[in-house]
Amino acid sequence: MKKYSLGALCLVALVAVTALTACSKKQNVLTKSEIEEGWELLFDGQTLDKWKNYNGTELNNGWHVVDGTMQAAGDGSDENGYIVTKKQYENFILDWDWKLTHGGNSGMLYHVVENPFFPVPYVTGPEYQLIDNDGWEEDNAPTKLEPWQRLGVDYAMHLPDESLMKVNPQGKWNNSRIVFDNGHVEHWLNGVKILEFEAWTKDWFERKNSGKWENAPEYGLAHRGVICLQDHGYPASFRNIKIKELPKKNAGKKVILFNGKDLTGWQAYGTELWYVNEEGNMVCESGPNKQYGYLATRDYYEDFDLTLEFRQWANGNSGVFFRSFVEPPVKVNGWQCEVAPKGSDTGGIYESYGRGWLKQIPDEKEEFLKEGDWNTLRLRVEGDHVQTWLNGHPMVDFTDAKIGRATGRIALQIHDGGGIKVEWKNIVLTRL
């Protein structure tokens, strides 16, 4: 019989214990250091309490927990099968393990906007594509995946460096990570960064407006939204889903929304007239169709303090929309700070769908509007708190939970009926 030294026996025992520990690693838990760093579990291995149906209040669309994993039953489709977090997130590191069946197709989306107008989450939220490339092509031969549909892509926008991708065999666990840090985005796969880009740059908008999202005007614009998992008709498993929120970095930054020369940064909707006159003022004017018209910012603005000056000619029925989105071809849904003739609640807040007037102004405050002269309007929106001032006079001050959950653009309006002309200048926003 071969004899072993005490040291060798101890080494064998240590290796065995280490292997056993590795095999029995606890899943869906945070370490002490992760807790101290601010990580949050989105799945505890036992319940789906932090998740619900997309655009719903309950979770009843086939997702379930099996042996400590969150599983998609494979009953979903392009139109349904999505679950989302109950909480919204802005800047974060999102980390998760995933495993697909042969040919499996799923995805992790973020900054998803919930609204009945958006029937599916991918028209607003960017997606980290999860798919078994080889298995999918084998099952769907001779159809091949487009490069922008493959594993790890920022779906239909940016491609990863496939030379860096080390994918575990189908049916084995992989780990992915999304970093979204104030517009800087990274995709990771099994500990390696495979893709990074900057959101909302000139290049980003060119990609958005020339491909799959050309007719999805709100795609990718939100700075805040829910996290979403996709059941795309294939069983898929997830575990160790955790997120660490990162701080906002642009608070206090001033943004000049109108440069006094042209309409850079704005998009017009409708046939009404928007132009810059010889004095360097922006003008909205009714066109021959006498319909509603809008000029919306290209970007979204969440919490802000906005000031602008306006002068009304003729009718002057207009408004400043905020946290709003475009419904093609010519409609803006959201909230409006009224700009209108005297007696029509300039500085009040109106909801364009659903509830109508949220806050009108007292009759005595109508006198603060200067007809035929320049007026200064201030609009401050922070979370669910909305305040307005007209020529330095407080007009409304209230909180609203629905506004607090919303996100969107700033837009100027031309009311229908014709005969409207308003000038605008010094449109400056401070991010909060």
Mean pLDDT across 406-415: 94
Q: Let me know if residue 421 belongs to a domain.
A: yes
Query: Is the predicted pLDDT of residue 23 greater than 90, yes or no?
Result: no
- Structure confidence at residue 13 (pLDDT): 42
Q: What is the pLDDT of residue 328?
A: 83
Whether residue 343 lies inside any domain: the answer is yes
Is pTM beyond 0.85 here? yes
pLDDT, tens digit (0-9, with 9 covering 90-100), for 213-229: 999 999 999 999 999 99
Amino acid 80: pLDDT: 82
Q: Which helix (H) or strand (E) holds 15?
A: helix 6-23
| Residue ending a domain, choose from 245, 276, 304 | 245
Greater confidence (316 vs 252) lies with 252
Domain edge (last residue) among 189, 221, 245: 245
Rounded to whole angstroms, the Cα distance separating 29 from 39 reads 10
- The answer to whether residues 230 and 280 belong to one domain is no
Q: Are 416 and 296 in contact (CB under 8 A)?
A: no
pLDDT score of 78 more than 80: no
Instruction: State pLDDT tens for residues 45-62.
Output: 999 999 999 999 999 988
Claim to verify: residue 84 and residue 118 sit in the same structural domain? yes
Torsion sign across C-alpha atoms 127, 130, 134, 139: negative
Identify whether 21 is part of a domain. Answer: no
Residue 290 domain flag: yes
* pLDDT score of 42 more than 70: yes
Residues 299 and 348 in one domain: yes
Is the domain of 366 the same as that of 423? yes
In this structure, what are the phi and psi dihedrals at residue 184, rounded to the nearest 5 degrees? -85, 125
Q: Mean pLDDT across the stretch 23-46?
A: 92
Residues 239 and 301 in one domain: no
Residues 260 and 279 in one domain: yes
Phi/psi for 30 (5° steps) reads: -105, 140
Please indicate, yes or no, whether residues 372 and 417 belong to a single structural domain of this protein.
yes
CATH number at residue 233: 2.60.120.560
Backbone angles phi, psi at 156, to 5 degrees: 65, 20
239 plus 261 within the same structural domain: no
pLDDT for 233 beyond 90: no
Query: Cα(first)–Cα(last) distance of the chain, in Å?
Result: 77
Write out the residue range of the structural domain in which residue 280 sits: 254-431
Mark residue 368 as left, alpha or beta (left: phi above 0; alpha: psi -120 to 50; beta: remaining): alpha
E strands within 133-253? 174-181, 184-189, 192-198, 225-231, 236-245
The answer to whether residues 350 and 239 belong to one domain is: no
| Alpha-carbon gap, residue 107 to 56, rounded angstroms | 19
More confident site: 128 or 78: 128
Count of domains observed in the chain: 2
CA distance 55 to 82: 9
Instruction: List b or e across 165-179, with b for residues whose CB sees 16 or more CB atoms inside 10 angstroms.
Output: beeeebeeebebbbb
Kindly state whether residues 331 and 228 are assigned to the same domain. no
Considering the domain architecture, whether residues 199 and 279 belong to the same structural domain is answered as: no
Q: What is the pLDDT of residues 134-186, one digit of tens each?
A: 999 999 999 999 999 999 999 999 999 999 999 999 889 999 999 999 999 99
* pLDDT tens figures, 255-314: 999 999 999 999 999 999 999 999 999 999 998 888 899 999 999 999 999 999 999 997
Q: Residue 288 corresponds to which amino acid?
A: P
